[in-house]
Structure formats: C-alpha cells, structure tokens
Chain A
Amino acid sequence: MIRSGTDIARTIGTLRAQRGVTPTATLVALVAIGFFPVLVPNTYWTQIATTIWLYAVLAIGVNVVVGYAGMLTLGHAAFYGFGGYVAALLMVRSGVTWIVAFLAAGVLTGILGLLLALPCLRVQSDFLGLVTIAFGSLFTVFATNWDSITGGPSGLAGIPPATLGPIQFTTNQDYYELALSLLVVVFIVVRRLERSAVGRAWSALRDDSISASTLGVPVLYYRVLAFVIGSAIAGFAGAIYAPFITVVSPAAFNLNQSLLLVEMVIVGGLGSLPGSILGAGIFFLIPQIFQSLLVYQVGIGGAVMVLVMARRPQGLLGKTAFGQSLRGGPIARYLATLRAHAANPLTGASGTPHTGAGPHFAGAASASRPVFAGTASSLDSRPLQDATSAGVGESSGMAQFSTQEDIDASA
C-alpha cells in the first residue's frame, strides 16, 4: 500500500522534472477538459467536477498565503462564504447583475482580508493563524444568527442565475464552464506573480524575513499582499458558488471546509499550482469512490495528509517542505517537531540544516547545542528540498531535523 503510494509519488516527481509542457499541449488538454460535460453528459459528475474547480481556485488562494508567503490561514472558507453572501445579497436584495456582484464580492473580500491581516501581521505573522480561526467562527456565528440579513441557519435562497450579457448560466454544465474559466484566470494570474519579483519576494520573506528586509524587501507589504490576494480569490469563487447552488448557508463555510483547504494544499504541495488542483481533486474524488465515508471527509483527509507527509513531506507536486516553509514561529516549530517525529527520528545524522535560519532557531540551537550550530554543519547539511530537486529519492531524507538532539534544541 505504502510502497505503491511512494511509487506514485515518485512517478509524479519524475513527470514534474520533465519540464517543457508546450502551450499547445496545455491548450489541447484544456479544450478536452472543457468538453468533459458534453462528452460525459452526467449531471451528477458535472456537479462534482464543478465543485472540484471551485475548490481548486480556493486552494490556490490558500496556497498563496501558506505556500508562497509562509503564513497560516485556518479560516479561508469564511472568505469563500463572505464572497458568496455578498454576491447573493446584491443579486437577491438589490437586483444587481451577476458580473457586478461577482466583481464586488472579490473586491470586498479582498478588503476584508486587508482589514484582518494588517493588524495581525504588524505584530507577528504566527498570530494570523489564530486570528483566522477566530474569524472563521465569527463568520459562522454571524451568518447563523443575523437572520434579517443572512437568512439565518437555513441561509439565503432563491439566488437568480448568473448572467453575462445575453448568456444565462442555468445548468450544471454552464457552471462547470464558468468555474473552469475562473480557475484558468486565477491560475494564470498567480503563475505570473509567482514567476516575478513578487514571487521572489514571497519566497525570500518565507525563508528569512530579516534577511529579506535588509535587502530592501518590504516584508509587511508582501505578507499583506499575499493575504489580500488569497482572500479576494476566495471571494470570487464564492460569487460563482452562490448562483451555482442557488443557496448560501452557514454550514457550507465552516471550520471543516477551512481545514480541508489547508489539507488539499499540503497534500498537493506547498507553492505548487498544479498541486493545489490535484489536492482539490483527490479530496473530492476519494469520498466519491467510498460514498459511505463522505461524512468522515475531513478526518480521512487528515489521515491522507499524514501519510503523504510521512512519505513525501513537500507534498505530491511541491518542492518546499511544510516545516521549512512555515518555520520561525511556535506553530512552525510544533509542526516541524511533529513531522520530524513522524519521520524516523533515529536515523541519519547530517547535522542541523537550520544553520542561519530564523532568529528563533539560530539562538536556541546555538545556545543549548553548540555542536550543531556554527559553520561546520552547514558544509555537509543538505536541506530536504534540494536533495529532492537534485533527483535524490524522496523517501530517504525526509526529516528536516535529523536527530533527536536537533528536535530538542529547536523545540
């Protein structure tokens, strides 16, 4: 079982290594995917696929925050919901046309993200993880109890179909194409950012924010930017969800959905856009195969995540390991320690790969374990992602902390 899992992971890794997927091939694949509902005229599967595209969009948003900028967001479903409610309210109560509601939902959700992130990130980025959990719960509470606006627990119903000029979106097929179009646009936008100075700034502050700031990178700006982009993306997705399902209700945007999104991104691979799509696909297809297990989706997702983390900590298509990406704070240390324990903590002793890492690590490690700090260890330490990118197998060096001592020193 695990063996075959590793094989799959390795195959995917090999595919990834063979770059140069031509634009033509991409276009052909995209057209084929676009014709799926025509080729497979099954309403049920079209609906599942539409949900996958919407969650892939959401996962990309989460990936910008977690994978690129190295922060934690545990309430992202609430942004999805906020976008959904904004669009629904505008369409139902104010009779606004869909495209206006769609744009308003994205922009307002982005502004909400800004209001939430700015105060937290000014203080400390670890704070954001906690604040987003609180925000997610607050959103559910408001949506459930503010009956006059939100329609209470049963939600807002009777959302009219989306329209684009003369085109009216009514069937599942229509929403399939709409969601797929949003995914394509979001994918292109984030891909462009990733491969620009913005993407480099994100990887710099994720890796070492102090170092980044002494090179003139405005760390706070790029952290906030990542969060605003991530939130706005969720808002846009929500504005497609609302007319697709025709109802928005609090239960669709709770903590479970938020956790599911983070799980998707981690399994698919932090900092990998195809990974986010793959993650969304896996998490919606597995429950389809084992229908009776649908209620345990989040739990099974957690188990899948642990399995993937143990065999391939950087995720199926990712290149950065989780503890690596989120290092530097208490949550990061906790996760890194967990992961190091999960991976065999007794084998391999190549020294600490964290020489010159974030301020939290550097001080603690050198104070209590001088043997592992300093210059000598950086000579032979090979952090995980480099080993894998160099083509070394993924199952050999999975622990960021190779020995028990490293874990103790940094915990």
Chain B
Amino acid sequence: MPLLEVEAVTKRFGGNMALKGVSLVAEEGESIGILGPNGSGKSTLFNVISSIERPTGGTVQFDGKKITGMAPHRVARLGIGRTFQSLRLFKDVTCIENILIGAHRFSEHSVAAIVAGIGRVRRSERSLRDEASSLLTRVGLPGYEGRFAANLSYGQMKRLELARTLASRPRMILLDEPAAGLNDTGAAEMLGLTRGLVRDEGITLLVIEHNVRALLAAVDRAVVLDAGAVIFGGTPEAILESQAVRDAYLGDEQ
C-alpha cells in the first residue's frame, strides 16, 4: 500500500481552477520532485495535502486513512510535515524554541502537570532540548540555540525551518522550494542536506523546486504540473528529454 495517495484532486478559487484532477502516489521512502511553471498549482497541491486548504473535489489518503477535511494539526500528527515557500518561522522566539515548537506533541504539555511543577515536566524539557540541540547541529547550525530566528541569514532560516519540521518526526515531508533564493552551490547543498537527513530516517519526500538541475539530482522521480494538471511523470532522465516538459517551461514554439 502506498504511503500517500492523492486521487483526482481539484481545487477551485472562484472562477480559477488551481488543480484539475491531480492524482499522485508516493511509496514509503521515495523522493519525488514536483516541477512546473509558476501558477501551475504546486503550492496549492501541498496546501491540500497538509490540509490547510480543503479540496473542491477528490480525496487524499495517508497511510490508508482519508485525510481530506481533517484539521491541519491532526494531519501533522499523522506524520505529514512541511516547509513553506515564504519561510514561516516563529520570529519572536529563539532557534531552539522554534524547534521545540516543532516537537510540541512530544513535550509534556498537560496544564495540570506544568502548574504542579512535577519532575516529569522538567525531565521532558531537558531531553527535548538536548534533541533540539543535536538537530541544530545536524542541519549545520551548531551553537545557535539562543539566537533569535529573525537574526539569521536567509540560508540559515531555511535550515532552521527544515530542522523544525524534522523535530515533528514526520513520515513524509513536503518541501516547498527549499533552494529558492540560494545560488547553485547553496541549492545543491540544501537539497543534499535534505536528501541525507531524509534517507537516514527513511522519510518520504515531496519537493517543489524551480532549480531543475539541483532537484533532479536529488530525487528518484518527478512529476510535472502545468495549469493544474499532471502533464508528465518519470525518472529525472526522462523528464529532461520530454518535449511536453520543454513546452510547459519554455512555451510551445509552434
């Protein structure tokens, strides 16, 4: 049974069909790239899968459970994590707190226990902080615990957002343009880092990325969206050779 099954999902915003019957299957442990020009519906697809937006039609199943219409925090608890195209870090708080918020459901959050100040709360905090610190190190931000998220460089913010998502221990991660705004070296580094972390943990990966070269180097296969529909799917090599993909990106010459 595949981990993720997107079936004939449509999404309408007023008169605009952002998704026109998109179907997609991801097996556990797979890395899938999602390509497509601006406005082709890639981010909308992610919003539907993470349940921030409800699809107009179609269903999404995760691990055999229908998640369409489920509250986003429940979907997250089932094991779907994501990052955002336009970085959505918690800027009022420090790096380590950003990660701890990602680990929220593993923390001791019973109001009674916290108010009573029992030892379990302190122990849970301590072990989570240790884990959060080691996550920071793994994404290349060692010693950044007390830094405020808003004071990081752009590339560092991207890493922190990835670490925050990993802290929620997802089985699948949706990465929305992890390399956007980075140069070719930075993009390759970021995708390489992601790929490594994800492979270590056996996490399934869906990546939207405009840097085609960096993306295809990091995924097992890719699908191409255009105007809200899947126009092509296959291995990185097949994608590069496909005429349909060229047309979608560069415009039909005829």
Contacts and interface: CB of A to CB of B under 8 A. Distances in A.
Contacts of A375: 86, 154, 180-181
B88 A208 contact: yes
A198 interface: yes
Give 4 nearest A-B pairs by CB, closest first. A197-B107, A216-B76, A375-B181, A211-B88
Interface string A365-395: 0000000001110110111011001100000
28 contacts: A196-B121, A197-B100, A197-B104, A197-B109, A197-B125, A200-B97, A200-B101, A201-B101, A201-B109, A203-B93, A204-B93, A206-B92, A210-B72, A211-B84, A214-B72, A214-B75, A214-B76, A215-B76, A218-B73, A356-B84, A356-B89, A378-B87, A378-B154, A378-B157, A379-B153, A381-B150, A383-B91, A385-B92
B251 interface: no
Contacts of A360: none
A225 B102 CA distance: 20
A201 B100 CA distance: 9
B101 A212 contact: yes
A210 B84 CA distance: 10
Interface stretch (B110-118, B188-196, B229-237): B110-118
A376 B50 CA distance: 27
B125 A196 contact: yes
Contact of B151 (A203, A355, A390): A390
B81 interface: yes
Chain A contact residues: helix, strand, loop or mixed: helix
Interface residues of A, number: 43
A213 to B, nearest CB: 4
Contacts of B114: 192-193, 196-198
Contacts of B109: 196-198, 201
Contacts of B102: 215
B81 A389 contact: no
B148 A216 contact: no
Contacts of B151: 382, 386, 390
Contacts of B165: 215
Contacts of A189: 115
A210 B50 CA distance: 11
Contacts of B181: 375-376
Interface in A305-340: 319-320, 324
A348 B148 CA distance: 22
Nearest to B83: A214
Contact of B76 (A213, A355, A374, A389): A213
Interface string B115-150: 101000100010000000000000000000000101
A207 B111 contact: no
Contacts of B111: 193, 198, 225
B199 interface: no
B168 A355 contact: no
Nearest to B113: A196
B92 A207 contact: yes
Contacts of A320: 92
B213 interface: no
A103 interface: no
A374 B177 CA distance: 13
Contacts of A353: 150
B105 A382 contact: no
Which of B84, B90, B164 has the most chain A CB atoms closer than 10 A to its own CB?
A: B90
B86 A355 contact: yes
A219 interface: yes
A197 B75 CA distance: 20
Given A196-B125, A386-B148, 6 more contacts: A201-B109, A215-B168, A218-B71, A362-B86, A382-B151, A386-B91
A216 B105 CA distance: 7
Contacts of A364: none
Interface string A204-234: 1011101111111111000001000000000
